Amino acid sequence: MKFTSDDFAKELKSKNIRLSHQRLKVLEYLSENKCHPTVDQIYTSLHKEIPTLSKTTVYSTLSALADAGMVKSINIEDNEIRYDITVEDHGHFKCESCGAIFDFPADMSRLESEVLSGFKIRDKNVYFKGTCPMCLANKN
């Protein structure tokens, strides 16, 4: 699905988030780079286009977009947060050899347990780790 700046602008307005050049650029970047980038990757790339961009802005923008449900933070690594513009439920697999993160369909409703009746669930994450087929092949 391809989004235009205009689509993002409308969505921001509908969520009562002010429109800003920086926010549009972050959304645009995430929609064109679905590799689950880190804050630093997003900042470094956008900084080329927007020399005045501050890393603090990238942090606060992503935080605001995540609060509004427009992006999802991925904590598959202990040391840095990654972001995903795909907010629909799905699992993430991290290859511990090459570092790549893969999406896979994951029906999280199947994980519902009677133990959680009475709990209000706001967010669900499924993180798998291991080795991807390419890295498995390269070992041989």
| Residues contributing to the site for DNA (CB under 7 A) | 13, 17-23, 38-40, 50, 52-57, 59-61, 63-64, 78-81
**Structural tokens at position 25:** 């650029």
The site map against a copy of itself for 8-47 (x = CB under 8 A) is ----------------------------------------
Cα–Cα distance for residue pair 118/120, rounded to 1 Å: 7
Helix (H) or strand (E) holding 103: strand 101-104
Give the number of other Cβ atoms within 10 Å of residue 14's Cβ. 9
CB of 73 to a copy of itself, least distance (A): 7
Distance of closest approach, residue 67 Cβ to a copy of itself, in angstroms: 12
Main-chain dihedrals φ then ψ at residue 103, nearest 5 degrees: -90, 150
| Least separation in angstroms between CB 121 and DNA | 22
**Other beta carbons less than 10 A from residue 37's beta carbon:** 19
* Interface ranges with a copy of itself (CB under 8 A): 73, 75-78, 81, 91, 93, 96, 102-107, 110-111, 113, 115-116, 118-133, 136
